[in-house]
Homo-oligomer: A and B are copies of this chain.
Amino acid sequence: MPGLRTNKKQDIIQAATLLFSEKGFDGTTTLQISKKARITEPVIYYHFTGKDELFTRIISHTFAQYYAHLDGLPKKTRTEFEKIANLIALHLDIVEEMPDQIYLAASACPARLKDPDGVCRRNIETMYRRLKNYLTDCLDAGIARGEFYPVDVVATVDLLIVLLVGLLRQKGLKVMQIKGIKQTAVDFCRRSLIKTELGHG
């Protein structure tokens, strides 16, 4: 049991998450973090290697939670399309679950994609790879069983990823008011993918 009350470490992470997402990584100083966390600056260095590691931890943790959600999705569904619908729901619901962390990832990561070893790049790649696998299986199966149109799987998977990530981003960054978008997105995809007349209901 390392420290019965490791509040401080959590306080730091929480303070940093908020500040980073409000003012950006560079716009946030370690002094601000320490003040918000009600500790002194050196405490940060006791718990973390430095500002960078603090950021890295936050982002890693955010993605880890995202992966957990992905893993929590039901493997067996009545139709393949349900899986896609679940994915859409997940990407919208997670924003409400951890808004600050999503905001931070969505705002800070785009500027950090150039570094191939950075947390952002690595996690974004993992995220895309997992989505790609998930959706490829899904589409392959759906086409095989005649549920979906025989689309170009590779390109359609990419397109769906663009859509999913786009939904997460727009909602996470609060750029648009997007009421009723979940149902609309599901319907949009259904009409586009599903063969039967039911798809056009």
Chain A residues packing against B (C-beta within 8 Å): 22-27, 106-108, 110-114, 124, 128, 149, 151-152, 154-156, 158-159, 161-163, 165-167, 169-170, 173-176, 178-181, 183-185, 187-189, 191-193, 200
- Which residues of chain B are near A161, meaning CB under 8 Å? 170, 176
Given A108-B111, A110-B106, A165-B166, A159:B188 Cβ within 8 A: yes
- Whether the pair B124, A200 counts as a contact (CB closer than 8 A) is no
Alpha-carbon distance between A184 and B22 when the two chains are bound, in angstroms: 37
Please pick, from B26, B124, B176, B200, the residue contacting A158 in the complex, using a CB distance under 8 A.
Answer: B176
Output the nearest chain B residue to A188 by Cβ-Cβ distance. Answer: B192
- Whether the pair B162, A167 counts as a contact (CB closer than 8 A) is yes
- Which residues of chain B are near A180, meaning CB under 8 Å? 152, 154-155
Interchain residue pairs A-B with the least CB separation, the first 4: A166-B166, A26-B26, A155-B184, A192-B192
Alpha-carbon distance between A180 and B200 when the two chains are bound, in angstroms: 26
Alpha-carbon distance between A179 and B112 when the two chains are bound, in angstroms: 24
> What are 9 residue pairs bridging A and B, where the CB atoms are less than 8 Å apart in the complex?
A110-B111, A113-B173, A124-B175, A152-B184, A155-B181, A158-B176, A161-B170, A162-B163, A163-B166
- Which residues of chain B are near A176, meaning CB under 8 Å? 128, 158, 161
